[in-house]
Structure 1
Amino acid sequence: MTKLYDYNPADALKSDEAIELFLADAFETGDSAYIAKAIGVVARSKGMATIARETGLSREQLYRSLSESGNPRLATTIAVLKAVGFQLSGKRAT
């Protein structure tokens, strides 16, 4: 019998390069729910308590906003990205 383990994608995000690729992939989908969830994964990889402290938002609010069913405000998204060392940027769609 094969033993299955829970997979937590946050555990794979050990470097800024990995996070950058992960976020770029999420943004390329254009799916707001997927993007919010991906930002949540990144926040968990850095430590949700740390992100909460740096953004001034509660952990509960972050978990709720950055879930697949969440709908974070733009201010929340920008604050979390800044706290993990990234920013939103625009580029021309091709």
Structure 2
Amino acid sequence: MEKIKLTAYDAAEFLGTEKLQKGYLDYVAKEGTPEELIEAIKTVARAKGMSKTAKETGISRSGLYKALSPDGNPTIDTLIKIAKSIGYNLNISFSPIKTNC
């Protein structure tokens, strides 16, 4: 029996255009969790290319790698800059918390 070689799936490999990147972010923003949206923004940064993303965001390449690493904890500012670099407006709004008091 022939062995099958599997490779890890990386959505960034399929987001080669700005239109696809925006569509991906739109979908995740509407259907996903905040954590999934953060991962989607990281994926878009990789799809664009880290050097290009760093240049467009004004964040150093090493800083971008650090913030977007699996152990990284990017700030909201970093995430907004990455989204903005593809023309995507990431707005954060807060809703009042309803209490039963």
**Shorter-chain-normalised TM-score: which range?**
0.7 to 0.9
Please, what TM-score do these two structures have when normalized by structure 1?
Answer: 0.74
- Residue ranges of structure 1 left out of the alignment (5+ in a row): none
Q: Percent identity?
A: 36
Letter in structure 2 aligned against 1:9: A
Extract unaligned runs of 5+ from structure 2.
96-101
How much does 1:54 deviate?
1.4
Pair 1:7 & 2:9 matched:
yes
- Deviation, 1:14, is 2.1
Q: Is 1:88 the counterpart of 2:86 in the alignment? A: no
Conserved? CA contact 1:81–1:87, under 8 Å: yes
Alpha-carbon RMSD across the aligned residues, in angstroms, is 2.4
1:24 aligns with 2:26: yes
CA contact (8 A) 1:36 1:67 kept: no
Larger of the two Rg values belongs to structure? 2
Equivalent runs, 1:41-52 vs 2, <5 Å: 41-52=43-54
Normalized per residue, the structure richer in helix is 1
Bigger RCO of structures 1 and 2 (CA < 8 A, at least 6 apart)? 1
